[in-house]
Amino acid sequence: MSISNVSRRNFLKTAGITTGGLVLGVALPVNALAEKGIMKASGSSLNAFIHLAENGDTTLYCGRCEMGQGISTALPSVVADEMEADWQRVTVKQGDADEKFGPQATGGSASIRVMYQPMREAGATAKAMLIAAAAKVWKTSADNCFAQAHFVINKTNQQKLGFGELASIAANMPVPEKPVLKKKSDFNYIGTKLPRHDQNEVVVGKRVYGVDTKLPGLKYAAIVHCPVLGGSLKSLDKTDALKVKGVTDVVEISRFDVPFGSIGGVAVVADNSWTAQQAVKKLKIEWNLGENAVYDTKEYKQQLVANVEKPATLAAERGDIDKAFKAAKHKISATYTGGHLSHAPMEPNASVVWVQKDSCEVWASTQSPVDIQKVLGQYLKREPKEIIVHVAMAGGAFGRKYKCDYVHEAAVISEQTGVPIQLIWSREEDMRTGYYHSINAQYIEASMDDKGNVTGWLHRAAFPSIATLFNPSLVRAPEQNLGDITNHLFGVENFRTESGDAKAHTRIGWYRAVYAIFYGFSFGTFADELANKAGKDSLTFVNQLFDNNKNEKQQAQIQRAKKALATVADKSGYHNRGTLPKGQGIGLAVHYSFQSFVAMAVHVEVKGEDIKVLNVDCAIDCGQVLNLDGATAQMEGAVVMGMSLALSTEITFREGAVVNSNFHNYPVMRITDMPNVRVHITDSDEKPTGLGEPGVAPFAPALSNAVFAASGKRYRDLPFKPLAV
Amino acid sequence: MKQSMIINGKTHEIDVDGDMPLLWFLRDRLEFTGTKFGCGSGLCGACTVHVDGQAIRSCITPVNTLVDKTITTIEGLSENGDHPLQKAWLNNNVPQCGYCQAGQIMNAASLLAVNTAPSEQEIDTAMQGNICRCGTYQRIKKAITEAAHTMYKEV
Ligand code: FES
Ligand code: FES
């Protein structure tokens, strides 16, 4: 059983859970996360807790990290629904990093996917125990009682007992073997529009983020990093920096060669952040840049293109592609590219760390407190569990705050100065010292018969992969990184994927939507190019591509993808596109990622070189939706992020170092570019799937297709309008 | 005579280096952390506050230019968090991570103080210096229009 009654257990206090009343422990399926590579499998133990206090307040303790995606609203609503609690009285507390909270890494759009079922069962269990408690008090049968809005009610005489009053009695009731879950039609909260629980604090400036931590005796640090990965400090003159009034220390930080350790740099400690930032500029530093000083993204991209436009290393194959190509009526090919991206959340990397002789405490915006424990444990030569991590709300993260190099640096500084340190990276350091989305090239070659059926598909991808973080000697993306190509839902009998050489010269990391960005772009755009060649409209052509997939196992998925695509075609006016004014066009794309299906129709106006996005229709099927409004917001946000990467954002390296520095030369989307976004959410009974990331992928291909429809110009390189930096 | 400024109705002595931008005086010296650091160069708007009712970027405004001035931060925009913009923000569920929103609201408040019914274009122009990386722009526009309505159309 995955739910246990732990109301009387002692360890809860140490995990910061107030006791008294009813406490249920939930064992989350850790293996489901392990399978996604999100964390290592470990024994199943209790790792989320629901506490019903005697005053009726209900708290859910869990380890998922909030970064704006709304998880701390969605999960309590699920518990409250099954429990028949008043959801306003259910709050979520982010557990501090502790093994008890199990999988605390938040990534891969996996939170809801993994926690939905256990949270429902936990809520239903609590309800059953509360009903049993009330039945005991009233000396009646459980069948004669029901729960509603934080009360148990006696059906015969309408007597009521509050959840709080019943909490301690319920703690002595047996845990039901199989709690009965509600029917969808009986949901109160799941699938409705719920406001974010912390909004009231946000609008008055009271929401506390990682960057806002204050402690008595706190000192402030600023840092400058070695500009090139693998470089090291050659010489340092700190005289001028130390002369600045308010500066107390200059600390050298060596590169710590573990995944998510510091790249190496020099930090200044002062009475406030501003002084520290000013003094950093006065450091005279020379670096040994090392072998990555040759890195130049312009040349490198050309090399990637060359590597995919010739035979590469086989990743997967089915059928006989050579035969298909020989028999082809039409053959076409295209190469797509994309640049590095920086996450650039509005809150730069920040944390407070206090290392003392026998303790180490961390306050950080983080997606992965367990990695902080691991890295700091390794660095300080202490057990990971001795590192106490308080998880703060992140001011955006998008994958960046999964990696804790910035926390490691604060730990080094605190260790050396003996005081609690707040290290805030400047925007420039944040942009130049990232874990970037992969620069990449995709080459696709396909054959068609005279009816427009695609008979052969060769897809070569070259990109430095995230795996290089853990194994820097990799010279190309491992075959499993190309799995999403091989398992694509398009039906092509003869198929081959190849991995082109691409050694990493910088740190590569998960970026919202990850590889779906370039797979979505190349598939979605190439399909439109094929349609054009076959003389068919894109919608008909893509549906045919799906229909040609005879794999039994993929039929259900294909239907969902087609439905999403049909929805945006209908809603966007795609069928009447012939009546659009000159210079306007609608482009479609659909992509399956993080187990969800998202289609987009982008309506643009093209005037000369100018691309103006007017409307975006976005359809998502992510199974059962928990919070309709939250889901809508995630799609709106995904469109904005998709638009930034499609049109303008790109990180450029020259002589091994990042050239971009701040928002003037990393132009993320602004309000002036905002199209009218309409989100269409599929009403589905399937299990809930990813929501934070899958919306990003289909935007860029839909935009490329729209611009082509409007102007005949085909964009194959992301971003379409790179800024010269 | 010590120099001072008025922040959210209270007088605060300027006891830091005069070159220090207001942002850091607020955040590190006075521990008003509602005003956020996003870029430090006037490029993102996260640090927006009002000086004598007008939106400015506090990250590039040294405290010695603000002697005897009246500063309003997000914490002081309204008594009970009930400025029409704050209400409209809640009503439209604007925030995602929320980090940029203090700056967005302060910037919008400055707009609505001089423009009682901004057009979409005017909202765009006024708000283009405020980045939201979570992408809440559509809702920001809606909330501003709604707040303008409650402020000026209803009595
Ligand atoms: S922090 Fe002031 S404009 Fe960005
Ligand atoms: S809500 Fe996250 S940056 Fe605006």
Which pLDDT does position B57 carry in this prediction? 98
Chain A hits for B24, CB-CB cut-off 8 Å, are 272-274
Contact A671 B124 (CB under 8 A): yes
Query: Which residues from A are below 8 Å from B15, CB to CB?
Result: none
pLDDT at A517 over 60: yes
Q: What is d(CA B47, CA A274) in angstroms, rounded to the nearest whole number?
A: 14
pLDDT at A89 over 90: no
> Which atom of ligand 1 is the closest one to the Cα of B36?
1
- Is residue A97 scored above 60 in pLDDT? no
| Amino acid found at A74 | A
Of A40-49, A423-432, A461-470, least confident by mean pLDDT is: A40-49
Highest mean pLDDT among A83-92, A307-316, A587-596: A307-316
Q: Which residues of B touch A274 (CB under 8 A)?
A: 20-21, 23-24, 28
Rounded Cα distance, A471 and A466, in Å: 9
**Between B137 and A687, residue with greater pLDDT:** B137
**CB atoms B135 and A639 under 8 Å:** yes
Quick one: pLDDT at residue A725? 83
Mean pLDDT in residue range A432-448: 97
CB contact under 8 A, B38 and A347: yes
Residue nearest to atom 4 of ligand 2 (CA): B132
Residue A65 is predicted with a pLDDT of: 61
Other beta carbons within 10 angstroms of residue B13's beta carbon come to 9
Helices (H), A433-509: 483-486
How close, in Å, is residue B26 to chain A by CA atoms? 11
Using CA atoms, how far apart are residues A188 and A30, in angstroms rounded to an integer? Answer: 29
Q: Please, which pLDDT band fits residue A31 given cuts at 50, 70 and 90?
A: very low
Q: d(Cα A684, Cα A628) in Å, to the nearest integer?
A: 12
Pocket test for ligand 2, best of B92, B134, B138 (most atoms within 8 A of CB): B134
DSSP string, A627-695: BHHHHHHHHHHHHHHHHHHHHT--B-EETTEE---STTTS----GGG--EEEEEE----SPP---SSTT
- What residues form DSSP beta bridges with A157? none
| Pair A38, A32: CB distance under 8 Å | no
CA of A648 to the centre of ligand 1 (A): 20
> What six digits make up the tokens of A385?
């569990």
Does the bond joining A176 to the residue before it have cis omega, within 30 degrees of 0? no
Distance, in Å, from the CA atom of B137 to the CA atom of A649, rounded to the nearest integer, reads 18
* CA–CA dist B82, B89 (Å, integer): 10
**Mean of the pLDDT values across residues A617-621?**
97
**Pocket of ligand 2 contains residue B132 by CB under 6 Å:** yes
- Domains of chain B and any CATH numbers: 4-75 (3.10.20.30), 84-152 (1.10.150.120)
Q: How close does chain B come to A273, measured CA to CA in Å? A: 7
Residues A186, A189: Cα–Cα separation, whole Å: 9
The mean pLDDT value for B85-110 works out to 97
Output the pLDDT for position A602.
98
Is the predicted pLDDT of residue B151 greater than 60, yes or no?
yes
pLDDT of A69 over the 90 cut: no
Ligand nearest, relative to CA of residue B35: 1
Q: Provide the pairing of β-strand A440-448 with A421-424.
A: unpaired
Ligand 1 neighbour B55 (Cβ under 6 A): no
Measured in whole angstroms, the distance separating CA B89 from the mean position of its chain's CA atoms is 14
Of B44, B73, B99, B101, the residue with max ligand 1 atoms within 8 A of its CB, to mutate for a pocket test, comes to B44
In this prediction, residue A176 has a pLDDT band, given cuts at 50, 70 and 90, of very high
Per the CB < 8 A criterion, the answer to whether B47 and B58 are in contact is: yes
Closest ligand to the CA of B134 = 2
A670 to B20: CB separation less than 8 angstroms, yes or no: no
% of residues, chain B, pLDDT over 70: 98
For residue A41, the model assigns a pLDDT of 34
Angle at A12 between CA A10 and CA A14, to 5 degrees: 90
pLDDT at A105: 55
Residue with tokens 């140490």: A14
Q: Kind and range of the H or E element at A621?
A: strand A610-621
Å between B70 CA and nearest CA of chain A: 19
Contact assessment for residue A689 and residue A629, using Cβ atoms and an 8 Å cutoff: no
Residues 6+ apart with CB under 8 A from B67: B3, B4, B5, B14
Put simply, the answer to whether A636 touches B37 (Cβ < 8 Å) is: no
Is A672 in Cβ contact with B124 (below 8 Å)? yes
In a 10 Å sphere around its CB, with 0-12 CB exposed, 13-18 middle and 19+ buried, how is residue A722 labelled?
middle
Cβ-proximal residues to A173 (8 Å cutoff; 6+ apart), any chain: A129, A132, A133, A136
For B19-56, letters b (16+ CB in 10 Å) and e give ebbbbbbbbbbeebbbbbbbbbbbbbbbbbbbbeeebb
Token pair of A110 as six digits: 């996996």
User: Is the shortest distance between the CB of B59 and ligand 1 below 6 Å?
Assistant: yes
Tokens 């996005």 sit at which residue?
A: A613
Q: What's the DSSP call for residue A717?
A: B
Closest partner CB to B43 (pick from A220, A395, A663): A663
More confident residue, A531 or A689: A531
pLDDT band at A108 (very low <50, low <70, confident <90, very high): low
Element (H, E) at B48: strand B48-51
Ligand nearest to the CA of residue A634, numbered in listed order: 2
Q: B21 has which bridge partners?
A: B62
Element (H, E) at B130: none
Ligand 1: does its nearest atom lie under 6 Å from the Cβ of B47? yes
Mean pLDDT value of segment B88-113 = 97
The structural domains of chain A, ordered by start, are 2-203 (3.30.365.10), 210-290+351-424 (3.30.365.10), 297-341+436-718 (3.30.365.10)
Q: How many CB pairs under 8 A join A and B?
A: 185
The radius of gyration of chain A's CA atoms, rounded to the nearest angstrom, is 27
Q: How far is the CA of A35 from the centre of ligand 1 (A)?
A: 41
B100 CA distance to ligand 2 middle (Å): 5
Residue written as tokens 């591509």? A545
CB-CB: which of B35, B44, B89 is closest to A346? B44
Whether residue A637 and residue B96 make contact (CB cut-off 8 A), yes or no, is yes
- For residue A350, the surrounding DSSP H or E stretch is strand A350-356
Q: pLDDT tier at A230 (50, 70, 90 boundaries)?
A: very high
Does A220 contact B at CB distance below 8 Å?
yes
* pLDDT band at residue A39 using 50, 70 and 90 as cut-offs: very low
Predicted pLDDT of residue A77:
85
Mean pLDDT, residues A472-477 = 94
Rounded Cα distance between A423 and A270, Å, is: 11
User: Residues in chain B, how many?
Assistant: 155
Average pLDDT value for residue range A382-407: 92
C-alpha of residue A245 to centroid of ligand 2, in Å = 35
Band of residue A690 on the pLDDT scale cut at 50, 70, 90: confident
Q: State both tokens at A560.
A: 């969902």
A595 or A95: which leads in pLDDT: A595
pLDDT of residue A305: 98
pLDDT value of residue A115: 80
CB contact under 8 A, B131 and A640: no
Within a 13 Å sphere around the CA of B113, how many CA atoms are in the beta-carbon half?
14
Average pLDDT of span A301-323: 97
Q: Which of chain A's residues have a Cβ under 8 Å away from the Cβ of B73?
A: 205
Helix (H) or strand (E) holding A716: none
CA distance B154 to chain A (A): 23
**Residue A427 Cα, ligand 1 centroid: separation in angstroms?**
10
Q: pLDDT-based confidence at B21, cuts 50/70/90?
A: very high
Cα A181 to middle of ligand 1, angstroms? 49
SS (H, E, C) A304-349: HHHHHCCCCEEEEEECCHHHHHHCCCEEEEEEEEECEECCCCCCCC
* Lowest-confidence pick of A20-29, B42-51, B123-132: A20-29
Pick the residue from chain B with its C-alpha nearest to A677: B138
Question: Cα(B47)–Cα(B68) distance, rounded to whole angstroms?
Answer: 20
For residue B127, the CA-to-ligand 1 centroid distance in Å is 13
The arithmetic mean of pLDDT across residues A514-526, rounded, is 96
**Which candidate, A710, A714, A696, A711, places its Cα nearest to that of A528?**
A714
Buried/exposed code over A674-692 (b: 16+ C-beta within 10 A; e: otherwise): bbebbbbbbebeeebbbbb
Asked if A347 and B17 come within 8 Å (Cβ–Cβ), the reply is no
Q: How sure is the predictor about A19, in pLDDT bands with cuts at 50, 70 and 90?
A: low
Measured between CA atoms, the residue of chain A closest to residue B131 is: A670
User: pLDDT-based confidence at A7, cuts 50/70/90?
Assistant: confident
**Distance between CA B88 and CA A203 in Å, rounded?**
10
What is the Cα–Cα distance from A178 to A507, expressed in whole angstroms? 47
Q: List all residues of chain A from 246 to 265 with a beta carbon under 8 Å from chain B.
A: 246
Buried b (16+ CB within 10 A) or exposed e, A544-580: bbbeebeeeebeebbebbbbbbbbbbeebebeebeeb
Q: Tell me, what DSSP letter sits at residue A438?
A: P
Side-chain half-sphere CA neighbours of A701 within 13 A: 27
Percent of chain A whose predicted confidence (pLDDT) is above 90: 77
What residues of B are in contact with residue A678 (Cβ under 8 Å)? none
Report, in angstroms and rounded to the nearest whole number, the Rg of chain B calculated over CA atoms: 15
Are A204 and B74 inside 8 Å of each other by CB?
yes
Q: How many CB atoms lie within 10 A of CB A269?
A: 25
- As a whole number, mean pLDDT of residues A331-342 equals 97
| Cβ of residue B46 lying under 6 Å from some atom of ligand 1 | yes
Token pair for residue B88? 């409209």
pLDDT at residue A6 is higher than 90? no
* Greatest CA separation for chain B: 49
Interface residue A723 vs chain B (CB under 8 A): no
